[in-house]
Amino acid sequence: MLPPLDRSYPTQLDTCKPPVPPADPRAPDLRPVNADYGPNQFEIGVNGPDPALAVGGSHNQQEQQRDYMLALATRGFASYLTGHTPGTPRYPSDGDVRNILADLNTNPPIGEVGVDVTRAVYQSNIPNATAQEAYQHFVDNPEQVFGAGGMEIRPPAGRLEDGGRYMLETGGPPPTWLPVEIRLDPDANAITINTLDGHVLRGTQTFTFTDDCNGGAVLSQDAIFQGSTQMVGDIQQLASVSGGQHNAWENAHREIYGQFNGDQDYTGIGTSAVSPDLIKGWGEMLKTIAADPGNFVDVLVDSGGELANETIDHWGGWAGDFLDWTGIPGGGVVRDVTDTIGDGVSTVADVGGDLIELGLKAKFW
């Protein structure tokens, strides 16, 4: 049982009437998630399919997000590798990253919250800071806040801008790019983050800072999200996608708390390739693989099927576009046929992976 929160608000005799935080992790429709309560009284409450996130969108929408995600993943891996290899020019360049971000659309969750979409409320206390001061720290020091959550910002950002687009680069596992768009509401001391095409999650979340009338502030973070493509469903069998998000925001909250409470050097997860948290994450994934190698093989086969599906879809798209360009009829038919073939390959891979997993379990267990 967690100790009661020290969030008592003034009575009617007091002149300060703080606004009620917009979200409460202890609300009746939310269930608690294990987290480090810490000095900032950090808590998480969730509703919906967590940690096994549902995947949102139609078949075509999921395939579109899969294609974006794979394209970003290859660039994200190259960026991570060059960014952690001394003397190596960063690739892709900051200019390339800006161009990529400019072409992406927002991808909000699709479906019912609690069923198809997970809602998570993160909340913590920030003594010795007004809501405006804590909000301004986040806006003016995004590299510190996101860095504590294990995310490097590309291109580098000295401060957040309303409508700004940023690529959040994580070390994984596995290393990847997470494109987002930021919306600022200084009147409400609120920051909203919307995911863009290619993010592993469809989602949106708002950080709201409110005064507690005791010289401090409360940070409430209200998030809704789901997997963007079936590949995310495969990946989370080896490494919890939502668990990684929970851990990232726990550390980001702690960084903001530390700035006003004697721990200005708090780095959290950090962005180093040898970060203890990152190494721990890889270790936990390896343990998962060792405990159930059949499941690992299943994930590999399923992912291979998705990659083959993506490749066939692209071939069909190029062939169909060429026919359209030359005026030869049948471009749409080619695209439809190759899409069907690709889906068939993916389905066969899913079934094959399941059979291999069952066979390995029957043989060794």
Of 340 and 71, the one with more pLDDT:
71
d(CA 23, CA 133): 20
pLDDT at 306: 60
Residue 10 pLDDT grade (very low, low, confident, very high; cuts 50, 70, 90): very low
- Average pLDDT, rounded, for the chain: 84
d(CA 97, CA 91): 9
Of 3 and 144, the one with more pLDDT:
144
| Three-state helix/strand/coil letters over 199-245 | CCEEEEEEEEEEECCCCCEEEEEEEEEEECCHHHHHHCCCCCHHHHH
What integer is the mean pLDDT of 193-205? 96
Lowest mean pLDDT among 68-77, 129-138, 334-343: 334-343
Run of H or E residues at 305: helix 293-326
DSSP, collapsed to helix, strand or coil, labels residue 180 as strand
Angle, helix 94-102 to helix 59-83, in steps of 10 degrees: 170
> What percentage of the chain exceeds 90 in pLDDT?
56
pLDDT at 160: 97
12 contact partners, CB below 8 Å, separation of at least 6: none
Bridge partners (DSSP) of residue 193 are 182, 205
Its pTM surpasses 0.85: no
Residue 360 pLDDT grade (very low, low, confident, very high; cuts 50, 70, 90): very low
DSSP, collapsed to helix, strand or coil, labels residue 96 as helix
| Res. 128: pLDDT tops 50 | yes
What integer is the mean pLDDT of 1-16? 50
pLDDT at 328: 81
pLDDT at 299: 52
Name the architecture of domain 31-55+86-270.
2-Layer Sandwich (3.30)
What integer is the mean pLDDT of 176-185? 97
Lowest mean pLDDT among 78-92, 170-184, 302-316: 302-316
What integer is the mean pLDDT of 167-196? 94
pLDDT at 11: 40
| Res. 84: pLDDT tops 80 | yes
pLDDT at 262: 93
pLDDT tens digit string along 267-306? Answer: 999 988 888 877 787 777 677 666 666 655 555 555 565 6
| Res. 13: pLDDT tops 60 | no
pLDDT at 346: 57
What integer is the mean pLDDT of 6-21? 58
Residue 99 pLDDT grade (very low, low, confident, very high; cuts 50, 70, 90): very high
For the chain, give the longest Cα–Cα distance: 81
> What percentage of the chain exceeds 70 in pLDDT?
78
Residue 1 pLDDT grade (very low, low, confident, very high; cuts 50, 70, 90): very low
pLDDT at 117: 96
What integer is the mean pLDDT of 197-213? 95
pLDDT at 329: 79
pLDDT tens digit string along 227-258? Answer: 998 888 777 777 788 888 999 999 999 999 99
